Amino acid sequence: MSAVMFSGDLLFAGSIGRTDLPGGDHPTMLRSLRDKVLTLDDDVVVLPGHGEQTSIGRERVTNPYLLDVAEAAAGHVPPVTRGL
C-alpha cells in the first residue's frame, strides 16, 4: 500500500495553491513545497483539496510550479512560480 498525502490547498494535479488571497504567504508555500513535498517518495498518492488525485512522482516531472521550486532548490534559478 502506498503512502497518502492529503495536500489540501498546497498541491494540486498540475498546480499549487494560491497565495494572492488574504492570509496567503508565498515564501512559506515555497518552503513547504521544497521541504515537505519534494522530500516525499514518488509513489506517495496525493489527494488534493480540489481536483483529481495524483502522485508526487507525476507532479515532480509534470507540474511547472513544482519544477520551478525544485530547480530553485538545486540552485539553478530563483523560484518564479509562473502566474502567481
**Over the stretch 25-83, which tens digit does the pLDDT of each residue have?**
999 999 999 999 999 999 999 999 999 999 999 999 999 999 999 998 888 665 555 54
- 79 occurs within a structural domain: no
Give the number of domains in the chain.
1
Q: Is residue 83 part of a domain?
A: no
Evaluate whether residue 82 is within a structural domain: no
**Domain membership of residue 35 as a residue range:** 4-73
For residue 11, which of 39, 44, 42, 33 has the smallest C-alpha distance? 33
- 62 within domain boundaries: yes
Are 35 and 28 a contacting pair, CB within 8 Å? no
What pLDDT shows up at residue 79?
56
In a domain, 78, yes or no: no
Looking only at the bridges linking them, the beta strands covering 11-12 and 15-16 are: antiparallel
Residue 40 lies in a domain: yes
Query: Would you call 68 exposed, middle or buried from its count of C-beta atoms within 10 A (0-12, 13-18, 19+)?
Result: buried
pTM: 0.84
* pLDDT (average), residues 9-16: 97
Question: Domain for residue 63, yes or no?
Answer: yes
Provide the pLDDT for residue 84. 47
Residue 32 located in a structural domain: yes
